[in-house]
Chains A and B, each alone.
Chain A
């Protein structure tokens, strides 16, 4: 039973039960005067309320929550790219490298960067893969989520040739969700995977080359095939890209051919990419052109014509932002 003494008093703000960001934009919910049980609420008097009053922004900068999504869907149909794959396959590293490449500017001649409402989420990942003085980069941490019903959504906006805006949301989800979902699509712990399958406009299926070598390659092959089959069952003509991560690791031909044949059968029009962040000539380099080609694929997927996505009313009372025409 949720504790009414530890929740937000504002309507349409769902912290902390659903892992949603604070509707007032507080990164730390304990500093929000509307969050019952918070220090800010307990010590709130007129002076304290004045100190926290002012103009708040309707996005937190972290991964998009449902209310954040309302804010963006008021101006365009957000295009969701579902990134699917088992644990440790490289989903989060893929997102991070794509962002680092984007940060260098001019990722596409036909899609010009117009902004992001999740810079906090992106920069938190990028921080790991940057040098800190002489301290070298690391991989970003594995994704975890307190909200099993929905993945984190990282937002980017582009202006296309012709002037229209393209809002992209890329999912960042724990791989365990997809393994459970592949085994049983109604698994209680796989709500986030179901959400991804239901709401994504296109998918990136991650195939981890490292898992396909060694004694466990049979199990890994089975796991990937299972996820691919589940994805195929939910696909309904949506486009798929298959991304082989850690591609510097050589996978035996029979294993690779089996999976490639399977993908050709399940996803007839899919594209393949082979990416790597690994040692080459003594340095850890990325396969830059392959990552850029993947950007081309992401940016050129067709946007949805109609999407009924939100079943809850948008937060806020700005009539302009409610319009989704």
Chain B
């Protein structure tokens, strides 16, 4: 049996969709509905109890506590019968934000990075659109003025003012450095799966047309997309779209369709080629193919 202990790292700030995806992934695995299947019931799914309960009630899950970091060990079997132990984490996304903003990584996080061979990097495109600047949206009327510097921005405000793509590039630079991955040659390990989450909330130009997620990434975060393609070997990264829930859920009012059909009937993946598939395990399966 192959043990992929701590080889998979899930990276995403708060509200990037990690917990909902993790919960739906567990449901798919347990019900053996995807390419990856659970070999036996995991010893404990305590870390995902709240997410699973909310989804079965047809509600969205609350934010994971900022200091929490827990893993669920999933004994899996792949399509050719290999047994794999997958350790799937859930944690407060503030931990990622703190690494980025405070420029300090706990030794526990560094240890996880050192062991990791595959990264799932969650980005919520609707929250990550480039801010309009003078090129995209010229000003009108009076000439540009000089800034009011009478109130200097605090460090927190200056950091918060970064564009999402700059913040995400900086985060990846920091993670690569902490892992000891050199910058001179393109990266082969860790394998990088970019997950564009909450795909259902994105307004796509034409419905019923295939939209490869890499195109959306290039449109919303072009410099980030260029950074990935420049620094990773072509066969060492993929871009997926994911809608874990298929629609927005309330945290208070149960969704009737979820109550009738169960959360396993919802959620889909947009594959790198733009095709849609209901198998939410596919992004993880892609990474695991590389790790075995």
A interface, CB within 8 angstroms of B: 25-28, 52-58, 60-61, 75-76, 97, 100-106, 112-117, 119-120, 122-124, 126-131, 136-141, 157, 159, 163, 165, 277-279, 282-286, 288, 320
Distance in angstroms between the alpha carbons of A26 and B230 in the assembled complex: 29
Known: A100-B134, A131-B132. A60 touches B103 (CB 8 A): yes
Residues of chain B lying within 8 A (CB to CB) of residue A61: 103, 170
The answer to whether B131 touches A101, judged by C-beta atoms less than 8 angstroms apart, is: no
Distance in angstroms between the alpha carbons of A131 and B134 in the assembled complex: 7
Known: A119-B169, A288-B135. A113 touches B146 (CB 8 A): no
Residues of chain B lying within 8 A (CB to CB) of residue A138: 144-148
Residues of chain B lying within 8 A (CB to CB) of residue A284: 134, 138-140, 143-144
The answer to whether A106 touches B104, judged by C-beta atoms less than 8 angstroms apart, is: no
Map CB proximity to A onto B140-162 as digits: 1 under 8 Å, 0 otherwise.
Answer: 11011111110000010011011
The answer to whether B131 touches A56, judged by C-beta atoms less than 8 angstroms apart, is: no
Map CB proximity to A onto B235-257 as digits: 1 under 8 Å, 0 otherwise.
Answer: 00000000000000000000000
CB < 8 Å neighbour of A278 from B131, B143, B167 = B143
- With both beta carbons as reference points, the residue of chain A lying nearest to B167 in the complex is identified as A119
- With both beta carbons as reference points, the residue of chain A lying nearest to B111 in the complex is identified as A55
CB < 8 Å neighbour of A55 from B104, B146, B147 = B104
The answer to whether B166 touches A124, judged by C-beta atoms less than 8 angstroms apart, is: no
The answer to whether A103 touches B165, judged by C-beta atoms less than 8 angstroms apart, is: yes
Q: Which residues of B, 154-208, contact A by the 8 Å Cβ criterion? A: 155, 158-159, 161-163, 165-167, 169-170, 173-174, 177-178, 182-186
Q: Tell me the smallest distance from the CB of B99 to a CB of chain A, in Å.
A: 9
CB < 8 Å neighbour of B229 from A112, A278, A288 = A112
Residues of chain A lying within 8 A (CB to CB) of residue B155: 27-28
B225 interfacial contact with A, CB 8 Å? yes
Cβ-Cβ contact count across A and B, 8 Å cutoff: 160
Residues of chain B lying within 8 A (CB to CB) of residue A141: 146-147, 149
Residues of chain B lying within 8 A (CB to CB) of residue A105: 218, 222-223, 225-226
Residues of chain B lying within 8 A (CB to CB) of residue A136: 139, 144
The answer to whether B166 touches A131, judged by C-beta atoms less than 8 angstroms apart, is: no
B227 interfacial contact with A, CB 8 Å? yes
The answer to whether A139 touches B144, judged by C-beta atoms less than 8 angstroms apart, is: yes
Residues of chain B lying within 8 A (CB to CB) of residue A57: 103, 105, 174, 177-178
B127 interfacial contact with A, CB 8 Å? no
Main secondary structure of the interface of A (DSSP, over half): mixed
B107 interfacial contact with A, CB 8 Å? yes
Residues of chain B lying within 8 A (CB to CB) of residue A126: 133, 163
The answer to whether B133 touches A129, judged by C-beta atoms less than 8 angstroms apart, is: yes
The answer to whether A100 touches B103, judged by C-beta atoms less than 8 angstroms apart, is: no
Of the four ranges (under 10, 10 to 19, 20 to 34, 35 or more), the interface on chain B belongs to 35 or more
Q: Tell me the smallest distance from the CB of A84 to a CB of chain B, in Å.
A: 22
Q: List 3 A-B pairs, minimum CB-CB distance, nearest first.
A: A105-B222, A283-B138, A112-B230
B210 interfacial contact with A, CB 8 Å? no
Q: Tell me the smallest distance from the CB of A6 to a CB of chain B, in Å.
A: 20
The answer to whether A123 touches B104, judged by C-beta atoms less than 8 angstroms apart, is: no
The answer to whether A27 touches B103, judged by C-beta atoms less than 8 angstroms apart, is: yes
The answer to whether A124 touches B158, judged by C-beta atoms less than 8 angstroms apart, is: yes
B14 interfacial contact with A, CB 8 Å? no
The answer to whether B146 touches A139, judged by C-beta atoms less than 8 angstroms apart, is: yes
The answer to whether A55 touches B133, judged by C-beta atoms less than 8 angstroms apart, is: no
Q: Tell me the smallest distance from the CB of A3 to a CB of chain B, in Å.
A: 24
CB < 8 Å neighbour of B135 from A25, A55, A58, A104 = A104
B110 interfacial contact with A, CB 8 Å? yes
Known: A54-B104, A127-B161, A283-B138. A114 touches B227 (CB 8 A): yes
Known: A104-B135, A129-B134. A75 touches B144 (CB 8 A): no
B130 interfacial contact with A, CB 8 Å? yes
17 contacts between A and B (CB under 8 A): A25-B103, A54-B106, A57-B103, A75-B183, A100-B133, A103-B130, A103-B222, A105-B225, A115-B169, A115-B173, A117-B173, A123-B162, A127-B161, A138-B146, A157-B183, A284-B138, A320-B182
Known: A27-B155, A56-B103. A101 touches B145 (CB 8 A): no
Known: A165-B183, A283-B139, A284-B140. A104 touches B223 (CB 8 A): yes
The answer to whether B132 touches A139, judged by C-beta atoms less than 8 angstroms apart, is: no
Residues of chain A lying within 8 A (CB to CB) of residue B110: 54-55
Residues of chain B lying within 8 A (CB to CB) of residue A104: 130, 135, 222-223
The answer to whether A286 touches B230, judged by C-beta atoms less than 8 angstroms apart, is: no
Task: Output the residue of B110, B159, B183 with the most chain A CB within 10 A.
Answer: B183
Q: Tell me the smallest distance from the CB of B201 to a CB of chain A, in Å.
A: 21
The answer to whether B230 touches A159, judged by C-beta atoms less than 8 angstroms apart, is: yes
Distance in angstroms between the alpha carbons of A57 and B106 in the assembled complex: 12
Residues of chain A lying within 8 A (CB to CB) of residue B107: 53-55
Known: A27-B103, A123-B163, A124-B158. A75 touches B226 (CB 8 A): no
B209 interfacial contact with A, CB 8 Å? no
- With both beta carbons as reference points, the residue of chain A lying nearest to B145 in the complex is identified as A138
CB < 8 Å neighbour of B231 from A56, A101, A115 = A115
